[in-house]
């Protein structure tokens, strides 16, 4: 029987943490690729050495070349330059300022990946996320079903975490979803947030809820300012939840950045919406009935995404 194979490009913080979870859940054999000599090999060896203790039985390979990624089922692209303090200026670049730098990283990587795994599903993590999804789609020529951005899974996780903290209840009982671009304009849907079915508005006062939404929107930035670098546990675990749904054909409903072709009124733009993820990748976009206020927020988010995507210079399709 053929074993599942997942390639993780970028053996940095997000990539190595994702590989860790893929391994511990025994989802697939993992190939870690990075341009730094020794890094993916070292991470792979370290992780593999934990397998007798943690009792996972998968093959982990670290490499600097793409040949070994051949015939991957799913590819996670984390390679890129994360938000880090500039040692000279002491300033953090915004997610959007990274667009050109990471376009030049993700574009050539995508060429290599599709050469060796033409039938794979690519999950994109590199920021600015929505723009990098466009790069992967443009360079790969893949249908939209096979280029999916990890955004809503993480944004929703942060939103739920803050609600659970506020109420002192289990995260398992917090239900909700965050739509939109992976930026400060993301759209947490309060009307669809509940605690075990109880509307959140009955449990948290509006001003507190507004503060939670604001914190979720700036959740990435809050961690950057504490750590001096971008987050990696939650981004990795959110990515692995998507990979798991694809590899196991679970058909979970996960907010993901996908290429919209008219849904929600947007065309040719990656925006975070509820998606069914299964063996084919994106299997269905769920179109929700948004009210005027929610649609207005999504429009603002889409506009912000469009302005970053325009920096790529692909022109309007
Ligand atoms: N080819 C292969 N690997 C590359 C390339 C490239 N052209 N360019 C960079 N990398 C690798 C780096 O060598 C590094 O090991 O990508 C890795 C990125 O790891 P980190 O710097 O630790 O960044 P990380 O925290 O993992 O974030 C990666 O995910 O959440 C996003 O904003 C984040 O875009 C960033 C990405």
Q: Is residue 258 part of a domain?
A: yes
Q: Would you say residue 205 has pLDDT above 60? A: yes
Mean pLDDT for the chain overall: 94
- 156 Cβ inside 6 Å of ligand 1: no
pLDDT band at 91 (very low <50, low <70, confident <90, very high): confident
Is residue 13 a part of any domain in this protein? yes
pLDDT at residue 209 is higher than 60: yes
Task: Count CB neighbours of 1 within 10 A.
Answer: 2
Distance CA 211, CA 181 (A): 19
Tell me the pLDDT tens digit for each residue of 180-202: 988 888 899 999 999 999 999 99
CATH code, 62: 3.40.50.720
Q: What distance in angstroms lies between residue 161's CA and the mean position of ligand 1's atoms?
A: 26
- Whether 293 is covered by a domain: the verdict is yes
- CATH code at position 239: 3.90.110.10
Q: Check if 182 is active-site.
A: yes
Nearest atom (ligand 1) to Cα of 126: 34
Which atom of ligand 1 is the closest one to the Cα of 11? 15
Instruction: Tell me: pLDDT of 32 over 70.
Output: yes
pLDDT at 313: 84
The answer to whether the CB of 139 is under 6 A from ligand 1 is no
What is the DSSP code (8-state) at residue 42?
A: H
Same domain, 136 and 196: no
In percent, the amount of the chain with pLDDT more than 70 equals: 98
The count of structural domains within the chain is 2
pLDDT at 92: 72
In a shared domain, residues 159 and 179: yes
Range of the domain at 176: 152-312
pLDDT reported for residue 96: 66
Read off the pLDDT of residues 49-68 as tens digits, 9 standing for 90 and up. 999 999 999 999 999 999 99
Could you tell me if 156 and 298 lie in one domain?
A: yes
201 part of a folded domain: yes
Token pair belonging to 35: 């341009």
Note the pLDDT of residue 89: 86
Band (pLDDT 50/70/90 cuts) for residue 315 is low
138 C-alpha to ligand 1 centroid (Å): 20
Which of 130, 149, 168 corresponds to the end of one domain? 149
Boundary-marking domain end, from 149, 179, 208:
149
Q: 314 pLDDT band (50/70/90 cuts)?
A: confident
Task: Give the whole-number percent of the chain exceeding pLDDT 90.
Answer: 85
Tens of pLDDT, residue by residue over 134-158, are 999 999 999 999 999 999 999 999 9
Q: Do residues 196 and 296 both lie within one domain?
A: yes
pLDDT of residue 106: 98
According to the model, what pLDDT value does residue 95 have?
63
pTM: 0.96
The count of other CB atoms within 10 Å of the CB of residue 52 is 9
- Catalytic residue from among 175, 182, 192, 267: 182
Clarify whether residues 112 and 163 are in a common domain. Answer: no
- 62 pocket-lining for ligand 1 (C-beta < 6 Å): no
Cα separation values, 236 from 6, 173, 230, Å: 14, 22, 12
Q: Is residue 317 part of a domain?
A: no
Q: How many residues does the chain have?
A: 317
**Spatial CB neighbours of 262, under 8 Å, sequence gap ≥ 6:** none
* End-of-domain residue from the set 131, 149, 167: 149
**pLDDT digit string (tens) for 224-243?**
899 988 899 999 999 999 99
169 and 224, same domain (yes or no): yes
What is the arithmetic mean of pLDDT over 70-98? 84
Within this chain, do residues 101 and 136 fall inside the same structural domain, yes or no?
A: yes
CA-nearest residue, atom 3 of ligand 1: 34
- pLDDT for 42 equals 98
């Amino acid at each position: 029987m053929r074993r599942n194979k997942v390639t993780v490009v970028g053996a940095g913080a997000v990539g190595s943490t994702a590989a860790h979870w893929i391994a511990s859940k025994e989802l697939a054999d993992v190939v870690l690729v990075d341009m730094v000599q020794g890094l993916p090999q070292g991470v792979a060896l370290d992780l593999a050495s934990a397998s007798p203790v943690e009792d996972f039985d998968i093959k982990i390979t670290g490499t600097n070349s793409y040949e070994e990624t051949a015939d991957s089922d799913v590819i996670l692209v984390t390679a890129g330059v994360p938000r880090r303090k500039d040692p000279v200026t002491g300033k953090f670049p915004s997610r959007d300022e990274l667009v050109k730098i990471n376009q030049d990283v993700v574009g050539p990587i995508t060429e290599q990946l599709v050469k060796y795994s033409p039938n794979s599903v690519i999950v994109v993590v590199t920021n600015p996320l929505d723009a990098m999804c466009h790069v992967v789609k443009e360079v790969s020529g893949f249908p939209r079903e096979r280029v999916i951005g990890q955004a809503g899974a993480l944004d929703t996780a942060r939103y739920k975490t803050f609600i659970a903290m506020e109420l002192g209840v289990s995260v398992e009982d917090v239900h909700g979803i965050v739509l939109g671009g992976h930026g400060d304009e993301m759209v947490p849907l309060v009307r669809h947030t509940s605690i075990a079915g109880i509307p959140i508005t009955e449990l948290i006062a509006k001003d507190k809820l507004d503060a939670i939404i604001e914190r979720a929107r700036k959740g990435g930035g809050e961690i950057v300012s504490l750590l001096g670098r971008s987050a990696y546990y939650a981004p990795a675990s959110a990515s692995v939840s998507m990979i798991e749904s694809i590899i196991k054909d679970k058909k979970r409903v996960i907010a993901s950045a996908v290429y919209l072709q008219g849904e929600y009124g947007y065309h040719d733009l990656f925006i975070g919406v509820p998606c069914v993820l299964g063996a084919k990748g994106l299997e269905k976009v769920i179109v929700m009935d948004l009210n005027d206020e929610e649609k207005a927020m999504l429009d603002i988010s889409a506009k912000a995404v469009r302005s970053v995507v325009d920096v790529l210079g692909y022109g309007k399709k």
